[in-house]
Amino acid sequence: MAKFYSSLDEIKRELQSGRITVEALVKNYLSQIRSNTHLNAFNEVFEQEALSCSKTVDDRIKSGTAGRLAGMVIAIKDNICYKGHKVSASSKILEGFTSIYSSTIVERLLAEDAIIIGRCSCDEFAMGGSNENSYYGPVKNHADETKVPGGSSGGSAVAVQANMCHAAIGTDTGGSVRQPASFCGLVGFKPTYGSISRHGIIAYASSFDQVGPITRSVEDAALLLEIMAGADDYDSTLLQRPVPSYSSELAPSSSKKKIAYIQEALSSPGVDDEVKNALVQYIEKLREDGHTVKAIAFDYLDYIVPTYYILAMAEASSNLARYDGVHYGYRSPNATDLQSTYKRSRSEGFGKEVKRRIMLGTFVLSAGYYDAYYAKAQKVRRLIKEMTDSLLEEYDFILSPTAPEPAFSIGRTEKDPVVMYLYDIFTVQASLAGVPAISLPVANNNKGLPIGLQLLGRRFAEQELLNFSKYFLEL
């Protein structure tokens, strides 16, 4: 079994000492991938390419010209475009599609000598919280193969969890990096909206989608953020300012902080008892260390999930209109004319959950319902953002569980899909407000399943959030 490396620094020390090579590292990860194919984490492995790249990076290390990510083997979520490689968003409708360009983040990772080992399964078009909605079948949690890994970036999380790569890149629309990181015992980071380019990311909900790393350490999350972030001519929503040196300025926070925690996380019967216990333990640890920790009531908590889903589904309806069976991807063999091409290709190509969200999104945007649902949800979003910003002016961070319970069983069916949507109760606040949030692994329950806690910070205050996260994990 390949050795677990907690950070890239650890790998670099071994590379410099000559104990390992990047080629040997890649071979070990490929061996792990072969041993864990039953977890279904990868939709495709770039085996020969990764091996070829590893030799190039080894040569660059010897000549002293290697980039900052030399030695980091990364998996990417299957909604991130990589030129000359297939990308499907785990959907039948994009089966066989090859990207004609690379996303900005892939170009930036490769420029620093990262090796991309494959593309990971996800919920179809990143729509889901369990990674059961993939056209290629469910992904299994390495801690317990009867459990889900979380979603939608579940394959990315399991690839890191099972040591099939060192780090992975996912996308987070309403918690899709943080929740699987929590379920798999990893660090999952969603930066401020507008930090990382979305160019080359298959869109789900454009005003929410954000790229984020899944890692074993805060150090690696800081380095990956530093490399992926920054202005890009292809994405006008990005902040136009130099990227801070997150990795070199990373240090455990020593000053005393004011931290708020959402009181409903402890009072709600919907939150698992062991998740509550983990939260209580860390609240006590923080208080013992001199921090001010206070309970707050978030007045709009009941509106967070419905607001998010109305807006996200409306945006999904618009973004997925382009998949019509005409331009590329799946085209129904049963089509007889243009109209049947559209109808059959979309009904056969999209999965059940994606179709549900497209139909709901189309409904809330339709004449007569736009003002009642979509316009009203936009107003509530503004209220949620204003209240979140107001709280973060008074407090340094907001603490909560990442998810109401640890990983649940694969195949657990809910009569009402809203029950599944409510698992996003703690993660979607950061998405609606556009603030950075991080999930940190803090404990395992009595069945060995990981539990994560989440910290929210102020907009573009990633450095403070990362520094405090490093301190938090050392408590």
Q: Is the peptide bond before 182 cis (omega within 30 degrees of 0)?
A: no
Spatial separation of the C-alpha atoms in residues 79 and 94, rounded to whole Å: 10
Spatial separation of the C-alpha atoms in residues 62 and 282, rounded to whole Å: 45
Task: Output the pLDDT for position 197.
Answer: 98
Does the annotation count 27 as an active-site position?
no
Spatial separation of the C-alpha atoms in residues 210 and 170, rounded to whole Å: 9
CA distances for 280 relative to 169, 274, 403, 423, angstroms:
31, 10, 15, 20
Task: Output the pLDDT for position 1.
Answer: 55
Side-chain-side CA neighbours of residue 412 (13 Å): 13
Per-residue pLDDT of the chain (475 residues; tens, 9 = 90+): 578 999 999 999 999 999 999 999 999 999 999 999 999 999 999 999 999 999 999 999 999 999 999 999 999 999 999 999 999 999 999 998 999 999 999 999 999 999 999 999 999 999 999 999 999 999 999 999 999 999 999 999 999 999 999 999 999 999 999 999 999 999 999 999 999 999 999 999 999 999 999 999 999 999 999 999 999 999 999 999 899 999 999 998 889 999 999 999 999 999 999 999 999 999 999 999 999 999 999 999 999 999 999 999 999 999 999 999 998 889 999 999 999 999 999 999 999 999 999 999 999 999 999 999 999 999 999 999 999 999 999 999 999 999 999 999 999 866 677 778 888 999 999 999 999 999 999 999 999 999 999 999 999 999 999 999 999 999 9
**Whether the predicted model's global pTM rises above the 0.95 cut:** yes
Out of 88, 130, 134, 176, the active site residue is 176
Does the annotation count 352 as an active-site position?
no
Task: Output the pLDDT for position 327.
Answer: 85
Spatial separation of the C-alpha atoms in residues 410 and 132, rounded to whole Å: 8
Does the annotation count 35 as an active-site position?
no
Query: Residue 378 carries which side chain, given as an amino acid letter?
Result: Q
Task: Output the pLDDT for position 417.
Answer: 77
Best CA proximity match to 248, nearest among 397, 466, 73: 466
DSSP category for residue 85: S
Supply 97's token pair.
Answer: 């599609």
Listing DSSP states for 309-375 in one string gives HHHHHHHHHHHGGG--SSSSS---TT--SHHHHHHHHHHHHS-HHHHHHHHHHHHHHSTTTIIIIII
Which fold, 1-287+397-475? Amidase signature (AS) enzymes (3.90.1300)
Out of 90, 134, 152, 195, the active site residue is 152
Out of 7, 77, 197, 431, the active site residue is 77
DSSP category for residue 147: B
| Parallel/antiparallel/unpaired status of strands 187-190 and 437-444 | antiparallel
What are the structural domain ranges in the chain? 1-287+397-475
Side-chain-side CA neighbours of residue 459 (13 Å): 14
